Amino acid sequence: AMDRGAVLFLLLSSLSGGACMIELDGNGFTNILVAINPAVPENPQLIQNIKDMINSSSAYLVTATQKMFYFKDVKILVPPNWAPQPSYTRGKTESYENANVVIKDMSYGDDPYTLQYDECGKPGKYIHLTPSFLLNDSLLNAYGPRGRVFVHEWAHLRWGVYDEYNEDTPFYISSSQQVEATRCSKDLTGSLGVPSSSDSSLQRCSKDQITGLPSANCQFFPDKTQKTSASIMYLQSLPAITEFCNDKSHNQEAPNMQNRMCNYRSVWSVIGSAPDFDRTAPMTADPPPPQFTLLQKGRRVVCLVLDVSGSMGDYDRLTRLRQAATLFLREIIEDQSMVGIVTFTSSGTIVKSLTLVHDETSREELVTALPSTAGGGTDICRGLDSGFQVLREDDSSTFGDEIVLLSDGESPVDCLDQVGNSGAIVHGIALGPSADKRVEIMVNMTGGKYILATDKVDSNGLVDAFAALTTSDGNLTLQSIQLESTGMNTDGNSFFNGTVSVDKTVGNDTSFLVIWGTSVPDIIVTSPTGFNYTNTDFSQNRDLKTATLKIPGTAEVGDWTYSLHNTQSSRQALAVTVTSRAASASVDPVTVKAHMNQEVSNGSRPMLVFAEVRQGDLPVILADVVATIESNDGPNEELQLLDNGAGADVFRRDGIYTKYFTNVRKSGTFNLKVRVQGRGDTARLSVRRHGRALYIPGYMEDGQLQLNPQKPPGSEEDLQARVGSFSRTASGGAFTVAMDPGAPPPRFPPCTITDLSARIEAQGVLLTWTAPGEDYDQGTAKSYEIRMSPDFELLRKNFSDAQLVNVSLSLPKEAGSMEEYSFSPESIPLQNGTILYFAARSEDHENLTSEVSNIAQAALIVPGPDPPTGPEPGPPTGPEPGPPSSVNITVLVLSVTGVVAAACIVATTVMCVKKRKRTTSA
């Protein structure tokens, strides 16, 4: 018989993704949710253009996927602040937070993009389109028709493929020593040049004297008319482009993210291996047009459904529940929301009907109704029955409403169908090790949040759980922001001190909550200008063991310090929570969202921890981000998350901080918490976005350059002062590990090196890369193996077949460190025309080896002097060309002053670097 953990794993795996998970019905994608941000002005034309875009994209998707897929039905969630219309139906579990496509203005530009930061083949988070992109037809020349753009972004979102251009490396030298634009396919034609400032002509590019590549101001202008049909992930805007690059058309030499992330596989190869293809055959007839449903949700309506069974009297759980729920009712729930309270044992009891939250008095009414006694059995479904009854009090419906279900014990569960049919979102808080795991199934069914709170008195977990239950309608300026949440078992007559940074994006409704275990500590909170708040300034509740300080007006910007003095002789737990709201309704606050890439795991593959730090749509980079993995028993594990573009991290400095979680030792439920600290002298905003449709600077058409308007510039230097020092804390929710009984802990190899680079300098080769670890990106690996070849294809397919070379390298550095290695290949003269390719892998102390790295190129190409005037030359054997129109970039050959000594490079040469081992020269 299958054990209960395995059954739970299968159930949760099938539900993972929540209520807004895209589904495939036959050949048609359904349950796609497009959500419009509340800050977008009401505009019926916007809704019509969304429909037009998806209608046209459905037909384009049919062609691009060879009649495999189309868009069948789409929901459009309009903001609650738009005027109700007869065509709008009431939303259920849909929310802006869980949308697949969001419509919102951006700080800089209108680039459509997909937030994507997982492994190749893993879905993205959401597509972001601006109202201007959807309404302003003048942008179509640069991006192409909206339906085509949507299919480009859909491939990021659904199938986890990556872009085939590279704005950081727009050109490269091919293995045949030609300058190529980074693109797919190589059959795409166009011209290289620098647009003239006086007319629409194209001027010759100068060459970089070190790399031999075109200079930084040189651009590639594709021909408007093409003979190739690929690829959508490079230039969907060209009329001829109707396909993804496949194995035949794929350009594996191009230094783009698709090659780096997907191990040089073609886009169509990755798409074709997706589960969507497992149960689908090509259509034999044209599909119907997409069906659209317009949804709108009203004010936020929440019912707290709280377990008060006998076990809630253990470990001071009921007191901790009241502490956390009081914070939620006083500081977290937004004005104009409606809240009710239900308690349950073996039956449910309504203790507070729906109450409009509009002032301090209404909030305190709800606080007073919180339960204070525990006793009896546990029946979660009877509590939910009463909760749904409360939710119907305002309009006889539970659609779109929310349940906050807190329980610490197992229970008979006979209401999964009722929960699924309610149209309400269920958030689950599992308190302690015995909480019923089927609550997680309810949460996944309805798109809610699932959070574990342990009985560790210094973890502040229950407070964090309630603090995470903010509004999900997309209006960040209304949300409560958790700046600090920390606790410590403090020795007698000792201090618990800390600092919390208030930045200028927050400061309204700022409060400090202090919680103690046995006796009130001496409290001092000091503002940035040195004003001290002490116990007399706090509102104390000795029954609840809490003290609260509310900062009047807008809190000062800067570092606030707190000092809690445990005046008793024995140790006690002390905790501090600081919450605030946006300082301005027009400026989004800095926020952090955290999650695991797997909500449930059987331990067979490593889990990834993600933290997304942003201000509005702008990534916040160079912050210090620490994740804590907490379980009911055993010590916490802390992980330093990195945004360095190596190891688990996909893009460097994109505001997504990442780390592998490899220390999987047992089954159980774990909770993720992330703390972020930004310092004013380092943390800053970035305007860079990845996973987006390429903005084309112009085209060549009938021999003439047709320029598009320049993109709005966005200088990162201008943004640095906009962040300042800040503190944030966020719960990333709970996740489940369900390993096979008796299975040993998994063994993981070093992670793949993804940022290997090579260059020839001073008659030698310099290699750099980020060190992997003993287990993926943690610890220190045992050794490196590095190989090189003049043949790209040989190195990619036959990494292990090369000879060894007498080279050495010191021991690998700790994971995340930068490695450098310089050497002079003895058997290969480095002369003009030399092109070498390098790849590496590492080995750990258990003799597990990583996958082979990306392939890095080192080229020695010395260009001849640039002619003073004239167009870019054509093929050296061809006639003297005229203006550089319709020049096929595949024949734009660099001027080479030396002869390639190809005969010197006969065999593939290898460097193999092993710990405590020096090989002899081949």
Lowest-confidence segment of 4-8, 362-366, 611-615 by average pLDDT: 4-8
Over residues 847-871, the mean pLDDT reads 79
For residue 16, say if its preceding peptide bond is cis, omega within 30 degrees of 0. no
For residue 185, say if its preceding peptide bond is cis, omega within 30 degrees of 0. yes
Nearest in space to 141 (alpha carbons), one of 187, 105, 110, 185: 110
Is the confidence at residue 827, as pLDDT, over 70? yes
Render pLDDT for 156-184 as a digit per residue (tens, 0 to 9).
Answer: 999 999 999 999 999 999 999 899 999 99
- CA–CA separation, 91 and 83 (whole Å): 15
Over residues 724-752, the mean pLDDT reads 92
pLDDT of residue 293: 99
Q: Domain 757-860: which CATH class?
A: mainly beta
What percentage of the chain has pLDDT greater than the value 70? 89
- Kindly state the helix (H) or strand (E) to which residue 417 belongs, with its residue range: helix 416-422
Nearest in space to 815 (alpha carbons), one of 862, 781, 789: 781
pLDDT of residue 437: 86
Q: Which residues of 649-685 are buried (b: 16+ CB within 10 A; e: fewer)?
A: bbbbbbbbbbbbbbebeebbbbbbbbbbbbebeebbb
Q: Tell me the pLDDT band of 809, cut-offs 50, 70 and 90.
A: low
Is the confidence at residue 728, as pLDDT, over 90? yes
pLDDT of residue 9: 53
pLDDT of residue 777: 96
Strands (DSSP E) contained in 583-655 are 590-596, 600-601, 607-615, 618-621, 624-631, 637-641
What's the CATH superfamily of 299-316+329-449?
von Willebrand factor, type A domain (3.40.50.410)
Q: Tell me the pLDDT band of 887, cut-offs 50, 70 and 90.
A: very low
Angle (deg, nearest 10), helices 4-15 and 438-446: 10
153 is catalytic: yes
Locate tokens 């203005």: which residue? Answer: 105
pLDDT of residue 234: 98
Q: Tell me the pLDDT band of 720, cut-offs 50, 70 and 90.
A: low
365 versus 871: the higher-pLDDT residue is: 365
Sign for the pseudo-dihedral over CA of 884, 885, 889, 890: negative
- CA–CA separation, 385 and 744 (whole Å): 42
Highest mean pLDDT among 17-26, 203-212, 405-414, 496-505: 496-505
pLDDT of residue 378: 96
HSE-CB of 837 using CA atoms within 13 angstroms: 25
Contacts of 270 (CB under 8 A, 6+ apart): 120, 121, 159, 160, 161, 262
- CA–CA separation, 512 and 357 (whole Å): 21
HSE-CB of 235 using CA atoms within 13 angstroms: 30
Render pLDDT for 32-54 as a digit per residue (tens, 0 to 9).
Answer: 999 999 999 999 999 999 999 99
Query: Domain 474-585: which topology?
Result: Jelly Rolls (2.60.120)
Phi (first) and psi of residue 390, to 5 degrees: -65, -45
Contact 595, 733 (CB under 8 A): yes
Domain residues of the chain, as ranges? 4-163+267-296, 299-316+329-449, 474-585, 607-689+718-737, 757-860
- CA–CA separation, 119 and 122 (whole Å): 6
Nearest in space to 136 (alpha carbons), one of 105, 102, 167, 100: 105
pLDDT of residue 279: 86
- Kindly state the helix (H) or strand (E) to which residue 59 belongs, with its residue range: helix 44-64
Contact 807, 920 (CB under 8 A): no
Alpha carbon of 144 to those of 67, 239, 889, 908: distances in Å? 22, 8, 22, 44
Q: 391 burial class (0-12, 13-18, 19+ CB within 10 angstroms)?
A: buried
Over residues 715-737, the mean pLDDT reads 81
Question: Cα angle at 312 between 309 and 314, to 5 degrees?
Answer: 135
Give the CA-trace dihedral at 302, 307, 308, 312, to 10 degrees: -130
Is the confidence at residue 615, as pLDDT, over 90? yes
pLDDT of residue 890: 36
Contacts of 556 (CB under 8 A, 6+ apart): 502, 507, 527, 528, 529
Contacts of 722 (CB under 8 A, 6+ apart): 615, 684, 685
Catalytic residue of the set 94, 153, 253, 484: 153
Lowest-confidence segment of 130-139, 432-441, 852-861, 909-918 by average pLDDT: 909-918
Instruction: Copy the structure tokens of residue 583.
Output: 């300082």
pLDDT of residue 12: 53
In a 3-state reduction of DSSP, which class is residue 522?
A: strand
Lowest-confidence segment of 271-275, 490-494, 747-751, 804-808 by average pLDDT: 804-808
Render pLDDT for 102-148 as a digit per residue (tens, 0 to 9).
Answer: 999 998 889 999 999 999 999 999 999 999 999 999 999 899 999 99
What is the DSSP-derived secondary structure letter of residue 332? I
pLDDT of residue 723: 81
Give the CA-trace dihedral at 249, 253, 259, 260, to 10 degrees: 180
- CA–CA separation, 522 and 488 (whole Å): 15
Q: Tell me the pLDDT band of 199, cut-offs 50, 70 and 90.
A: confident
| CA 885 to the chain's CA centroid | 41
Render pLDDT for 374-408 as a digit per residue (tens, 0 to 9).
Answer: 999 999 999 999 999 999 999 999 999 999 999 99
Is the confidence at residue 876, as pLDDT, over 50? no
Over residues 219-230, the mean pLDDT reads 96
pLDDT of residue 34: 99
Is the confidence at residue 620, as pLDDT, over 90? yes
Mean pLDDT of the chain: 89
Render pLDDT for 669-695 as a digit per residue (tens, 0 to 9).
Answer: 999 999 999 998 888 888 877 888 999
Q: Decide if 299-316+329-449 and 474-585 have a common fold.
A: no
- pTM more than 0.75: yes
pLDDT of residue 763: 78
Q: Tell me the pLDDT band of 761, cut-offs 50, 70 and 90.
A: confident
Is the confidence at residue 891, as pLDDT, over 50? no
pLDDT of residue 646: 95
- CA–CA separation, 557 and 725 (whole Å): 9
Over residues 750-773, the mean pLDDT reads 93
Sign for the pseudo-dihedral over CA of 204, 210, 216, 220: positive
pLDDT of residue 846: 96
Render pLDDT for 292-327 as a digit per residue (tens, 0 to 9).
Answer: 999 999 999 999 999 999 999 999 999 999 999 999
pLDDT of residue 861: 82
Contact 354, 338 (CB under 8 A): yes
Is the confidence at residue 186, as pLDDT, over 90? yes
Lowest-confidence segment of 86-100, 538-552, 824-838 by average pLDDT: 824-838
Phi-psi category of residue 423: left, alpha or beta, with phi > 0 → left and psi -120 to 50 → alpha: left
- CA–CA separation, 264 and 635 (whole Å): 41
Over residues 736-752, the mean pLDDT reads 90
